[in-house]
Amino acid sequence: MTPSLKVLTAAVLFAGLPTATHAMPYSQLIIFGDSLSDSGQFPDIGSPLLGGNPTGGVRFTNRTGPTYLGNNTEYFDAVATQRLAGLLGLQALPSTPILPQILTGNADGTNYAVGGYRTDQILASITAANGSVVNAGGGTIRTRNGYLVDMPRVDPNALFYINGGGNDVLQGIVTDQASAAAAAADLVAGVAALQQAGARTIIVSDLPDVGLTPLGFVSGFRAGWSSAAGLLNAELGNQLSALGGNVIRLNFRGLLSEVQSDLAAFGFDPLVAQTDVCFSGDSCLADPTWGIGGLTPNPDRLMFNDGVHPTGAVQQISADYIFSILGAPWEVSLLPEMAMASLNGHQQQLRSEWQADRGAWQAVGQWRSFVGASGQRQQFERGEAVASGDSTGLGVNLGTSYRLSEQWRLGLALGLQEQTLEVGEADSEYDLRSYLLSAFAQYQQVRLWADASLSLGHLDYSNLNRQFALGIAQRSEKGDSDGQLWALSGRLGYDLANADSGWRVSPFISADYAKVDVDGYRENGSSSTALNYADQQRDSARLGLGLQANYQLSPATQVFAEIAREREFEDDRRDLRMGLNSVAGNSFELQGHTPVSGQTLAGVGVSHALAEELQLRAAYQFRGTDDRQHGVNLSLNWDW
C-alpha cells in the first residue's frame, strides 16, 4: 500500500470520531475486554484491492452507511472505546492487527479487547505469556503476550479500561453466586495485577443487563440472563471494594435503563420495543421500519445492531458517559479558583484605595469611607485537566478607615460579590456568592510605608450545574455547596521620589497567604451520571516584587499605576476525590486544576477630587499568565 493510501484509509477509519478539545492528563488509553470494546481484531471480508477494509477490521456494531451492507464497502462504526479515545486525544487501535504492518502501516495498538472473550481470557490478555489470542474460522489468527508480560512496569499516566462478563453469561458459565464470584475474580485479578505494575487510574465497566437484549427476547433466556448479570455485577462490586485502589466503577446498567425510559430524547424511536428488535437481523428480529431491510433503514433510531451489541448511537452515549466522569474534575476543581478570584478582586479594590491615598491620608482622628462597585472577568485557558471557561462577577465594597496617629491608619472593609462561571464544551454553569470582611492596618513614615490585611469570607455555591453530552442529548446534574476562606496580605515599600516632584515611585515587596475550603457535595438524585465530591482545599502562598507610581496631574487629579510579579509556592496539582451516587462504596481520585507558579499583576487608575473631602476614583487591574483575571472598580470616597 502506498503512503498516500495508508493516510486515506486511516482518515476514513477515524472520520467522524470526536477529537480532544484541550490537553489531557492521560498519556495513553489501554483497553481489555470483549466485543463491546473490540476495535477491530478480526479481519473484515474482502480484498483491499477490491475496495476492502485494510485497517478497520470487524467491530461489533452497525456499518456506517448509507447501505449498511456487509460487502466491506463501508466501515464498521466506531465502538465506545474508540470514541472515548478520540475525546481524550488518544488512539484505540487493536493490539493484534490482522494484516502485516508492511501493508497497513499500523503498529500494534493498546486495545487488547477481543470479541467473544470470557473473563478468564481477559485476565490472560493482561497477565499471561501468549495470552492475547485471536481465533477465527476454526484457527488462530494471531497470538501475542499479555500486556504486562511485555510491560511489567506501566506508565502511571496511562488510563486503563476493563470490561467483561457478557460472554460468561451468554455461554452459561455464570449461573449462580459461585460462578458469578469466579468470573468477577478474574476481572478483579486483572485490576490487581495492573495496580501492582503501577497503574494509577483504572476504569472497570459493570455488565449491562444482557437479558434485556433482542437475543434475550428471541431465545427465551431473558430472565435467567438478567439474573446472572445482576449476580456478576454484585460480586464485581464487592470484590473491587475489597481490593481498593483508584478504580472507577461504571454504571452502564443504570445508564441504559435511563435511555430506555426516555427514548425520544436520545433519538431512538419511542414506539419501538427497543429491547426486542435490532437493526441487522443477526440473532434477533430486524425492525420492519428502521432495520436494514425495513422501509427507512437507520441504525441511529435503534439501540441494538444485532442480538446483543449496541448501535453506533449507543456507543456514542457510552463514550460520552465515561468522558463526563473523567471531565468532571476539570470543571469542579475550579470552584476554589472562583473563590480566589473573588478574594483577589476584593483585595485589589482595597489596594487601589490605599495607593490613591498614599501620602494623603485624612487628618489624625478623622474617618474616611468609601463605597465602590466592581466588575471582574476571569478566563481559564484549556490545559492539562482544565476546561476552558469564563467567569464574570459583580461586586459591592464598603470600607472605612480611621487615622490613629501620624504613622498609623486602621480600617475595615466589607465586600459582596456574585460570580458565574461558564465552562466546558456544554457550557456548565457554576454560581458563587462571596461575603468578605477585611481588617487592615497601614503605616507610613516619611518614605517608608506598609500595608497589611486579614480577610475572612463565607462562600455560597448556590447553583452548581454541570452539563455534558450523552449522544445527541444533553444532561444536567445540579448541586450546591458552601465554603470558607481566610487570607493574610502584606506589602512593604519605599518612596524614591522627592515630595515636591509630583511623583511617588515606590518599589515594594509583598507576601500573601490564602486558604480556601469548599465543602464536599452531592449532585441531586441517583442517576447513573450524578456524582459526589469530597472537600476541596486550595492553599496559596505567594511572594512578590513590584513597583508603584503616582503622579499628580493637577491639584484635583492624580493617576496611579503598579506592576508586580508574584511567585506561587503552592503550585502542586490538585486531585479531586469523587464517586458516582449510584455506585455505593466506590470513590476515586482524578486530576484537577493545577495552580500556575507565577503571575503578573498590573493596574492603572485615576482619582479626582469633586470637593475638598469628596473624591471619585476608577481603576483597572489585571492578574494572570495563562489564566487571566481582569477587574474594574469605581468608588466614591469622603472624609467625616
Number of Cβ within a 10 Å radius of residue 430: 24
Among residues 309, 333, 438, 582, the one annotated as catalytic is 309
Pairing of β 201-204 and β 247-249:
parallel
97 pLDDT band, cuts 50/70/90, is low
Q: Say what the pTM is.
A: 0.92
Tens-place pLDDT, residues 177-212: 999 999 999 999 999 999 999 999 999 999 999 999
| Band (523; pLDDT cuts 50, 70, 90) | very high
Spatial distance between the Cα atoms of 61 and 314, rounded to a whole number of angstroms: 10
Active site residue 587: no
pLDDT score of 296: 96
Q: What DSSP line would sit under 481-536, residue for residue? A: EEEEEEEEEEEEEE--S-GGGSEEEEEEEEEEEEEEEE--EE-SS--TT-EEE--E
Span of 87-91, 118-122, 557-561, 618-622 with lowest mean pLDDT: 87-91
> Annotated catalytic residue: which of 35, 205, 510, 607?
35
Which residues, 6+ apart, have CB-to-CB distance to 166 below 8 Å?
Answer: 34, 35, 36, 207, 208, 210, 229, 308
Contacts with 237 (C-beta within 8 Å, 6 or more apart), sequence order = 206, 249, 583, 584, 585, 586
In the predicted structure, residue 564 carries a pLDDT above the cut 70: yes
Query: Out of 209, 306, 320, 512, which one is annotated catalytic?
Result: 306
306 is catalytic: yes
Q: Is the pLDDT of residue 21 over 50?
A: no
**Each residue's pLDDT tens digit, 403-460:** 999 999 999 999 999 999 999 889 999 999 999 999 999 999 989 999 999 999 999 9
- Summarize pLDDT for 357-367 with one digit per residue, the tens: 998 999 999 99
Q: Quick one: which H or E segment has residue 449? A: strand 448-470
> Is residue 27 annotated as part of the catalytic site, yes or no?
no
* Per-residue pLDDT reduced to its tens digit, 579-605: 999 999 999 999 999 898 999 999 999
pLDDT averaged over every residue in the chain: 91
Q: What is the pLDDT of residue 7?
A: 34
State what percent of residues in the chain have pLDDT above 90: 80
Pairing relation of β-strands 159-162 and 29-32? parallel
Read off the C-alpha cell for 454: 486579614
**Least confident stretch, 97-111, 227-241, 243-257, 287-301:** 97-111
- The percent helix, strand, coil of the chain (3-state, each to 5) is 25, 40, 35
Residue 384, classed as helix, strand or coil, is: coil
Q: How far is CA 469 from the centre of its chain?
A: 13
Which phi and psi angles does 529 have, rounded to 5°? Answer: -105, -10
Alpha carbon dihedral 122, 123, 125, 130, in 10-degree steps, equals -130
